Structures are given as structure tokens and as C-alpha cells.
Amino acid sequence: MAMLEVSRLCKTFRSGLWGNHRIVAVDDVSLAVEQGHTLGLVGMSGSGKSTLARLVMGLIRPDSGTIHFDGEDITHEKGAARRARARELQMLFQHPTAALHPRLLLRDSMREPLRLHRGLIDPQDWDDAIAQQLAVVSLDPALLDRYPHQLSGGQLQRLCLARLLLLSPRCIVLDEPTSMLDVSVQAQVMNLLNRIRHEQGISYLFISHDLDLVRAYSDDIAVMYRGRLIEQQPADEFYEHPQEEYTKRLIAAFREM
């Protein structure tokens, strides 16, 4: 059974003064992420990748379609049930600062999810649990006495990852997790994510512009084009035997960059 399964999902936005301009951001999309697998999601800017991520996370509601998590229908889950779900299904954002309060010491930012999910870990063990996750991402606990602006981008993204891992997630949506980082740090964060996936059997929905990165770290690759999912293939087949004309152009354009 798939860890995360999206079926016939649709989302239309209205904009313009009278709401008369319709944007079909996600159009009849179905996909599945197996347990412990990574599904890479690629497509040009505006193709609907982040909208799909936000739908999966319950940050916005679909017009139609369903989202199942470990066999359970979570499409209309709200309130306490959704907050409890947020422990197992988490998201790592492109900008690590988005997840952290600028004026909170990082120690307090790290405690925040444990406060929200009270009962998961005994408060007297919080500091140990935090130190343990910082060790997983190779960060010095002394950094906890700093504010977000006093860390590098790579350090911040690793800290955000440690913060997610505190709650033992089973699936993480990664929306361009390394696109703000320079290439050497990018590889470091991707290798870390990959190692954690293997060790802990977490599933990833991995959104990226970088086809090489997606290919190196995904089991399967799905392509979005204007809100629709036009192709899904095992990662090696994707480069060798792209099916759709658009996918061929996407690969060619990426190689030219």
C-alpha cells in the first residue's frame, strides 16, 4: 500500500477584481509515493508543483479528488486530527527561515513542535531528544543559543530537518529544499536526506527544478505541465526513454543550462 496517494486532485484559483480569472493550478492529478521511496516531481515554474504540495499538507483545500495517507482518507481532515497528522506528514520548505521565528532563540524554535505535540516526548527529555537529532544532521548544540540570522543557509536547513525529525515523520514533502543553497552545501543536504530516508524508511515527495538532482535521489520521476501530470517513470527510464514530447524538451533545455 502506498504511503501517500493522491487521486484525481483538482484546484482552481480565482483572481482578478471580480474573481473572474480562473487558474487551473492542479488539474486531475493522481500519484502515489510508496513507503521508503522518493518520488521526484519536476516541471517548469507555475506548473502547479507547490500547489500540489500545499494540497497534500492540508494548507489549502482541493476542489475535488482525494488524498490518502497510509490508507486513510485525509482529504477533509481538520482541527485536532489534522494537527496530529502533521506529525507523520511534514514539509521542508525552500526557505528555512519560513519555518523559524526570527526573534526566537533556535533552542525555543526546536522545542516548539514538541510543545505542540505534547505527550510525544516527556519535557525533561526534550533537550536530549533535540541534541540527538542535531547529531543526526551534524550540527553543534551550541548553535541553539543563536538566532536564525546567525546561521548559514545550509546550517538552517539542517536545523529545520532536525526539527522535523524530532516528531518521527513517515513522509516528508520537500519543496525545492536545496535551491537556496550553493552547490557544495546542496550535495551535503541531499546526501543527508538520502541517508535519513534509508535509515528511517521515510517517504519523500521531492519537488525540484534540478533534473540531475531529482534523478540522483528519486526512485520515480513525475512531470507536471500546466497543472497536469503528464508522465511518470522510474528515474533511469526518465532520461533514457522519455515518453512525452514535453519531457524531451525539458531534458534538452536542462542539458543546455
Ligand X SMILES: Nc1ncnc2c1ncn2[C@@H]1O[C@H](COP(=O)(O)OP(=O)(O)OP(=O)(O)O)[C@@H](O)[C@H]1O
Residues that bind Mg ion (CB under 5 A): 50
In the complex with ligand X, the residue whose CB is nearer, 81 or 253, is 253
Q: Which is nearer to ligand X, 117 or 226 (CB)?
A: 226
If one asks whether residue 25 binds ligand X (CB under 6 A), the answer comes out as yes
The interface partner of residue 48, options being Mg ion, ligand X, none and the CB cut-off 5 to 8 Å by kind, is ligand X
Question: CB atoms < 10 A from the CB of 161, how many?
Answer: 23
157 counts as binding ligand X under rule CB under 6 A: no
Question: Which of 8, 15, 123, 150 touches ligand X (CB under 6 A)?
Answer: 15
The candidate with the shortest Cα–Cα distance to 87, out of 199, 164, 29, is 164
Nearer to Mg ion, 49 or 111 (CB): 49
Decide whether 5 or 175 has the Cβ nearer to ligand X.
Answer: 175
The DSSP line for 136-187 is HTT--GGGGGS-GGGS-HHHHHHHHHHHHHTT--SEEEEESTTTTS-HHHHH
- Least distance in Å: CB of 47 to ligand X? 4
* 27-56 positions binding ligand X, by CB under 6 A: 43, 45-51
CB of 208 to ligand X, least distance (A): 9
Out of ligand X, Mg ion, none, what residue 247 binds, judged by CB under 5 to 8 A for its kind, is none
Contact between 254 and ligand X per CB under 6 A: no
Per the listing, cell 510508496 goes with: 34
**Closest listed residue to residue 120, CA positions, set 166, 70, 170:** 166
CB of 50 to Mg ion, least distance (A): 3
- Cell numbers representing residue 236 in the block: 533511469
- The answer to the question of residue 20 lying near ligand X (CB under 6 A) is no
β-pairing, 72-73 vs 228-234, is unpaired
d(CA 97, CA 231): 33
Element of type H or E holding 33: strand 21-33
Q: Which spans of this chain sit near ligand X (rule: CB under 6 A)?
A: 13, 15, 23, 25, 43, 45-51
